Amino acid sequence: MHIGIVGLGLIGGSLALDWRQGGHRITGVSRRAATITLAQERGIIDHGGTELSLLASCEVVVLCVPVVQLVQTAELVCPHLRADAILTDVGSVKAPVVQAITPLWPGFIGGHPLAGTAAQGIAAAQAQLFRQRPYVLTPTPGTHAPQLARLQTLIQELGAHLLVCDPHHHDRAVAWISHLPIWVSAALLNAAAREPDPQIAALAQQLASSGWQDTTRVGGGNPELGVGLAQSNREHLLADLRHYHQEIAQVIAMLEKQDIAGLTTYLENSRRLGQAFPGKRG
């Protein structure tokens, strides 16, 4: 199949790498010519350039740009596509993206591979990044079934764990497990920074170990990414944050009352809930 990748970062580059190794023909489009040169040198793409017209003969085009640039990119890409092209994306939020792009291109099917590394850019692209990781597709009632089937096949070729769901369901689920943790974690860092005694603050830094490191990791990530996700999934994140705020208030109330039984039940519940999530890492 002839596949076009728009945006050759970690995700775009890694998709290109796997599909090309699987025998597909890959056309890459990037705003920067240097990225294309690097991608060709590393054998990530067959050919490419900075012009969207290169996508004219692609059967599948994947938009691998940041969520906030997706709709604008789709507007620029669509005039160049062949009529039967499947258009998809890799954004972390789906309902607003599907709602905005489907009118521009009826053959659009939202996608979200849940894979990544701390590194970014084409230089970080790697083979088998998606193997055994979830890859969500969010078709709508208007999605053409044969097009969905073709895209599903491509994703299964990555070795990914394919999930098909409603775009709103996707956004509600990722608000809980991906977007809420960013702010929970960032608030912990910001709260600890309130310590007024510099001696205590310095001691805390010396004593911090794996528990602190783990709990604060996602709060210390890329600010633009975190805010972009919050903007795109604002309603679900707000609802979840309000629930979370109530949970913290409940813990405070139990501790004020020295409700040991209540606190114990609380941590017993969280241990049970933690065990319910499979230990997928990466």
131 binds its own copies (CB under 8 A): no
In the window 174-233, what residues touch its own copies (CB under 8 A)?
174, 176-178, 180-195, 197, 199-200, 203-224, 226-227, 230-231
- Is residue 257 a contact point for its own copies (CB under 8 A)? no
Which residues, at least 6 apart from 169, have a Cβ–Cβ distance to it below 8 Å? none
- Residue 81 contacts its own copies per CB under 8 A: no
Q: Which helix H or strand E contains 2, and what residues bound it? A: strand 2-6
Is residue 129 part of the contact set for its own copies (CB under 8 A)?
no
Least distance (Å) between residue 275 CB and its own copies: 7
Q: Which residue in 40, 134, 148, 152 binds its own copies (CB under 8 A)?
A: 134
Is 18 one of the binding residues for its own copies (CB under 8 A)?
A: no
In 3D space, the residue among 50, 49, 137, 124 whose CA is nearest the CA of residue 88 turns out to be 137
Using rule CB under 8 A, residue 126 touches its own copies: no
Contact call for residue 52 and its own copies (CB under 8 A): no
Q: State the Cα–Cα distance between residues 39 and 47, nearest whole angstrom.
A: 9
Looking at residue 124, the DSSP 8-state letter turns out to be G
Cβ atoms of residues 182 and 155 within 8 Å: no
Q: Under the criterion CB under 8 A, does residue 136 sit at the interface with its own copies?
A: yes
Q: Cα separation of 180 and 78, whole Å?
A: 33
- Which residues ranging from 99 to 118 are in contact with its own copies (CB under 8 A)? 114
Residue recorded with tokens 């990791």: 217
The residues facing 48 across adjacent strands are: 28
Rule CB under 8 A: say whether 57 interacts with its own copies.
no
274 contacts its own copies (rule: CB under 8 A): yes
**CB closer to its own copies out of 57 and 269:** 269
CB atoms within 10 A of CB 215: 14
User: How far from each other are the two terminal CA atoms of the chain, in whole angstroms?
Assistant: 29
159 counts as binding its own copies under rule CB under 8 A: no
Number of residues that bind its own copies (CB under 8 A): 97
Strands, DSSP E only, in the chain? Answer: 2-6, 25-29, 47-49, 60-63, 86-89, 108-113, 134-138, 161-164
76, 119, 123, 267: which one binds its own copies (CB under 8 A): 267
> Do β-strands 60-63 and 2-6 pair in parallel, antiparallel, or remain unpaired?
parallel
Stretch that binds its own copies, among 17-25, 32-40, 122-130, 166-174 (CB under 8 A): 166-174
Binding part of the chain for its own copies, among 23-31, 103-111, 146-154, 273-281 by CB under 8 A, reads 273-281
> How many whole angstroms separate alpha carbon 143 and alpha carbon 102?
9
Residue closer to its own copies, measured from CB, 119 or 208: 208
